Amino acid sequence: QQQVKQSPQSLIVQKGGISIINCAYENTAFDYFPWYQQFPGKGPALLIAIRPDVSEKKEGRFTISFNKSAKQFSLHIMDSQPGDSATYFCAASNSGGSNYKLTFGKGTLLTVNP
Amino acid sequence: NAGVMQNPRHLVRRRGQEARLRCSPMKGHSHVYWYRQLPEEGLKFMVYLQKENIIDESGMPKERFSAEFPKEGPSILRIQQVVRGDSAAYFCASSRLAGSSYNEQFFGPGTRLTVL
C-alpha cells in the first residue's frame, strides 16, 4: 500500500521556468509534510515543510501548496536553475503519536536545462 | 556544527558475511531513524530508536536485521548473512526531541552497501 503517491516520475524544465511536483496522501492522520532534495551520491536534504494549518508556505524560490480536503500537496520551484537538477521527494508523518517516521513518495527526477 | 555522520560510506560484502553500519546523530539529537533506498525507489522506513530503546521496528525484515542505539556511541544497523537483495543505500536520520512540534529529520550521507 503506497501511502504517498508522487508525480511526475521525471520532469524536464527550461532555465527560468516553473517546476511543479505533486503528491497525494491517504492517511488522514498525517500532519507534517516535508520535501527533500537529493543529489546523486548524497543524502536527502530537507528543503521546506508544511503543516495542514496553512495552505501555502514560501521560502525563497520554493513554495509548498497544501489542499487538506483533497489530501494533496505540491512543490513549486520558481525561476528554476540548472543547480536545482536533483531528485525531489515528498514525505509525510504523523506527529500526534510517539513515532515520527516519514513515509516517502517515490521521487521526481528534475532536470533543468540551461 | 557537524551534521549526521555515517560510516562507512561504501561497504562491500560477500554473500553470507555481516554488514555493520554506524550512525552518529547530530549534536543534541536523541532520536535516530534508519531508512533504506533501493535503486530508482524512494526511502523506506526501517526502524526508529531512542537511546537504549527500539521504538518502532515495523519496517525491519524479520530475520538477519537488527539495530541498536546504546547509551554511549553511535547507532548500529547490523545485517547478518547478507544476500544480494540487501544491496542498497542505507540512510540514517536524526531529530531533536520527542513532543516537538516539528519532526525535522536530518539525514546523513548514507552507506552504500554492495553484496557480491
Q: Spell out the per-residue pLDDT of chain B, length 116, in tens.
A: 579 999 999 999 999 999 999 999 998 888 999 999 987 778 999 999 998 899 999 999 999 999 999 999 999 999 999 999 999 999 999 988 655 556 789 999 999 999 99
B109 lies within 8 A of chain A by CB:
yes
CB B91 within 8 A of CB B35: yes
Q: Are strands A72-77 and A19-25 parallel, antiparallel or unpaired?
A: antiparallel
Q: Are strands A4-7 and A19-25 parallel, antiparallel or unpaired?
A: antiparallel
Provide the grid cell at B87.
544491496
Q: Is A44 in contact with B43 (Cβ distance < 8 A)?
A: yes
pLDDT above 90 as % of chain A: 80
Q: CA-based angle B74:B13:B66, to the nearest 5?
A: 40
Give the up-direction half-sphere exposure of residue B42: CA atoms within 13 A in the CB hemisphere.
Answer: 24
CB B24 within 8 A of CB B10: no
Q: Considering only CA atoms, which of A90, A69, A87, A109 is closest in space to residue A5? A: A90
- Taking the C-alpha atoms of residue B104 and residue B95, their distance in angstroms, rounded to an integer, is 6
CB B87 within 8 A of CB B115: yes
The helices-and-strands tally (H runs, E runs) of chain B is 0, 11
Question: Any bridge partners for residue A88, and if so which?
Answer: A37, A108
Chain A / chain B CB contacts < 8 angstroms: 65
B52 lies within 8 A of chain A by CB:
no
Chain B residues near residue A103 by CB distance under 8 angstroms: 45
Chain B residues near residue A42 by CB distance under 8 angstroms: 109-110
- Taking the C-alpha atoms of residue B114 and residue B83, their distance in angstroms, rounded to an integer, is 10
Q: Would the pLDDT of A42 be above 70?
A: yes
Output the pLDDT for position A29. Answer: 87
B98 or A33: whose pLDDT is higher? Answer: A33
A9 lies within 8 A of chain B by CB:
no
Output the pLDDT for position A96. Answer: 67
Q: What's the DSSP call for residue A93?
A: B
Q: Is A102 in contact with B91 (Cβ distance < 8 A)?
A: no
Q: Is A105 in contact with B105 (Cβ distance < 8 A)?
A: no
Question: Any bridge partners for residue A92, and if so which?
Answer: A103
Chain B residue closest in CA terms to A30: B103
Q: Would the pLDDT of A15 be above 60?
A: yes
Q: Is B59 in contact with A101 (Cβ distance < 8 A)?
A: yes
- Nearest by CB to residue A43, choosing from B44, B91, B101, is B91
Backbone angles phi, psi at B86, to 5 degrees: -80, -10
Output the pLDDT for position B1. Answer: 54
Provide the grid cell at B77.
544497523
Confidence label for A98 from pLDDT (cuts 50, 70 and 90): low
B102 lies within 8 A of chain A by CB:
yes
Output the pLDDT for position A63. Answer: 96
Is the torsion defined by CA of B105, A39, A103, B4 positive or negative? negative
Q: Is B48 in contact with A100 (Cβ distance < 8 A)?
A: yes
Mean pLDDT, rounded, for A33-46: 94
Q: What's the DSSP call for residue B26?
A: P
Q: Would the pLDDT of A111 be above 90?
A: yes
Alpha helices (H) along chain A:
none
Chain B residue closest in CA terms to A51: B102
